[in-house]
Amino acid sequence: MKRRVSTIIAALLLALPVHGSAGELPGWLTGEWVQTRDDRWTEEVWTLPRGGVMIGVGRTGRGEKLQSWEVMRIVRAADGSLAFHGAPEGGPATIFPAIAEGVRDISFANPTHDYPQRIRYWREGRLLMAETAKMDGSRAQNWTYAPAGE
């Protein structure tokens, strides 16, 4: 029953119109972002929006050891819709269509993916915030990135 309710909620979320400047690439995401906690670090770098795409790379590690990496894209389709494409460790990309978009906030979702099913980025002042989770909000992981070099 719980899985059925989650599937229904996910279907409803995907049916909602995207608010904000629909189809606008999130230029506020551009830059080099770093989170450091003790000897653990996570980095994301996003290009300027150009040609209907933003390209991002991310990596996570501990000390001098790389633990994981990912190549990402945010793409504007011909119909103006946006989607996040994530390819961890060089594998095939998983597509997450945009489900909500604000001035400095964007959410993507793919309820058929194992994990994550939902990806959200938003700005709080000079900081970039990120969260991945299941559609129901469980298993949430959060990042608080500062601009690199600060």
- CA angle 37/42/48 to nearest 5° reads 135
- Cα–Cα distances in angstroms (integers) from residue 107 to residues 31, 69, 72, 104, in the given order: 19, 21, 15, 11
Whichever domain contains 26, its CATH number is 2.40.128
CB–CB of 133/116 below 8 Å? yes
User: Looking at residues 33-49, what average pLDDT do you find?
Assistant: 98
% of the chain surpassing 70 pLDDT: 85
Domain span at 8: 2-147
Rounded to two decimals, what is the model's pTM?
Answer: 0.85
How many domains does the chain contain in total? 1
Residue 37 has pLDDT above 80, yes or no: yes
User: Looking at residues 108-113, what average pLDDT do you find?
Assistant: 98
CB–CB of 93/110 below 8 Å? no
Tokens of 16: 């909602």
At 19, the pLDDT band (50, 70, 90 cuts) reads very low
Strands of the chain, DSSP E: 31-37, 40-46, 53-62, 65-76, 82-88, 94-102, 105-109, 118-124, 127-133, 141-147
Residue 13 has pLDDT above 90, yes or no: no
